[in-house]
Amino acid sequence: MIKCLVIEDDDLMQGMLKEALIENGISVTLAETGDQGWTLFQEEIFDLVITDFKLPGMDGLTILEHIKSKSPEAMVILITGYGTIEGAVKAMKLGAFDYLTKPFLSEELIHLVQKALEFQNLRLENKRLKKELLNKYSVENIIGKSKPMQDVFRLMEVVAPSPTTVLIQGESGTGKERVAEAIHQLSDRKNKPLIKVSCAALPENLLESELFGHEKGAFTNAIKRKLGRFEMAHQGSLFLDDVDDMHPGIQVKLLRVLQERELVRVGGTETISVDVRLITATKTDLKLKIEDGSFREDLYYRLNVVPILLPPLKERVDDIPLLIQHFTDKFCARCGKNLTFSESAMTLLMNYHWPGNIRELENTIERLVTVSQKGNIDISDLPENFRNKPHWKPQSIKSAVAEAEAYHIQKVLKMTNGHKKQAAEILGITPKTLWVKLKELGLSEN
C-alpha cells in the first residue's frame, strides 16, 4: 500500500486530507508540526509527503530542504495560502513536485497525488532502463559499447578460461588494472588470489624481494623469511603493472620463472614450484623499449602471448555518455543527490580530448557531483579547462550522439506505450522538442 506522510496543524484540513487519501487506498500518517513530521520521515519510508507551508516551528520549506537532503527523489507536495505562493515557487526550485493553493477540492488533491506517484514510477522505470543499458554494455564493471571496447570484451572472454599470459597495453588511466581484474574474475581461478604489483613503485632490490621473496638474513633488515608475490598468487593470478619500468636484472629472473615455473627466494637455495597466471600491463610500446635496449626481446615474447590493446578515451567517444551515467549514479548515491547533465554540457564533455582518460573522467564527475547545488549540470558548471581549451572533435561525434539519443528515446517511448507527453517529461524536454528529435532521428511517431 502507498504510504503518505501528512504534515498539517489545522484539524479541519488534516481531516479532509486524511479522508480523501484513505478513500483512494493510501495509508496516511499524520503529524501536526514540522519537527514531528521530520522525525517521522527519518523513522519510516514514505512514498509521498504532503505538508502545509506554514507550520509551528519548522516550516514547510525547511522540511522540504531536510527531506531532499536525506532522500533526493522523495515526492513532496506543499499546501499554501495565497500569501505564500512566492515561497511555494521557491520550494519548486528546491525540488518540490508541486503545490496546492487553498482552498482546493479533494478531487484536485487526488489528481495531483496520482500525478506525483505516476511520475515517481516513471522515474524509477527510467532509472531501471539506464541500469539495463549499462549492464548491456559492460563486462565485470568495465563499460563500453564502442567497437574497440566490444572487441576487447570478446577477447577477454575468450582468453580468461586459459592460463595464457596476457599483456595489456594502454595509456595511463585507460583501465588496464580493471581489465586484469576482469580476466581473473572470468577465469576458473576467480576463487584464488589476484595479487597486484606496480613495477614502477619499487627500486630493483625491493622489487626482487617483493616478487620472489627472501630468506632470513638475505640482506640487512631481512629479520625473517618473506614469501614473494609469486608464492602468494599460487593457483591464482599475478598482475604486474608498469612492466615497462622493470629493471633489466629483474627481467632476467622473471624470464626464468616463466620458463621453468619455479623460483628461488633471495638468499635461498630451495627451488619452489609456482602455478600462476601472469597478467602484465604497459603504458608504452615494448617494441620501442627493445630497440633502445631497455627491455629483453625474449621476455617480451613470453609476456605478449595474448596482447590486449586498450584504446584511449578520445577513440571511444560513444562510450562517454555511458561512463558519465555510471559515474554520476555512483557519486550521487554516495552524496545523496540526483543530477542530470544538459545536452550542451554532455556535448562539451564528449568533445574534450581527455588526456587522463577514464581516470580523469571519473575524477571530473566526482568533483561536479560533490560541488553541485542544483539538479542539472550545465556548461557553466564545468571546470574552466573544459570551457576554454581547444577540444578534440572527431568526425563520428554527431552519429555517436544521435545513436545514443535514438536508443534512449525508443526505450522511454516503449516504456510509456508511445505516450509522448509522459516520455518528454521523463526525458526532461518539452513534447515539441521530442517531436523535433523524432523527426531528426528518423524515428516513427506512431
The amino acid at residue 396 is: S
Provide mean pLDDT across the span 126-152: 76
**What pTM was estimated for this model as a whole?**
0.62
C-alpha cell at 70: 536525506
pLDDT, tens digit, for every residue of 67-80?
Answer: 988 888 889 999 98
- Say yes or no to pLDDT of 392 above 50: no
> 135 pLDDT band (50/70/90 cuts)?
low
State the pLDDT at residue 173. 95
> 207 pLDDT band (50/70/90 cuts)?
very high
Q: How far apart are CA 36 and CA 153, in angstroms?
A: 53
State the pLDDT at residue 416. 74
State the pLDDT at residue 83. 61
> 440 pLDDT band (50/70/90 cuts)?
confident
Residues whose CB falls within 8 Å of the CB of residue 247, separated by 6 or more in sequence, listed in order = 203, 204, 207
Residue 278 bridge partners (DSSP): 238
State the pLDDT at residue 131. 62
Provide mean pLDDT across the span 111-120: 90
Q: Find how far residue 326's CA is from the centre of its chain.
A: 3
C-alpha cell at 109: 488533491
C-alpha cell at 245: 619500468
> 256 pLDDT band (50/70/90 cuts)?
very high
* Total Cβ atoms within 10 A of residue 354: 25
Closest C-alpha to 226, from 208, 238, 201, 242: 208
Instruction: Specify whether the CB–CB gap between 120 and 47 falls below 8 A.
Output: yes
Provide mean pLDDT across the span 392-413: 62
State the pLDDT at residue 406. 74
Provide mean pLDDT across the span 299-305: 96
- Say yes or no to pLDDT of 387 above 80: no
27-31, 38-42, 425-429: lowest mean pLDDT where?
425-429
Determine what percent of the chain is predicted with pLDDT higher than 90: 54
State the pLDDT at residue 133. 54
- Say yes or no to pLDDT of 390 above 50: no
- Give CA torsion, residues 109, 114, 117, 119, to 10 deg: -110
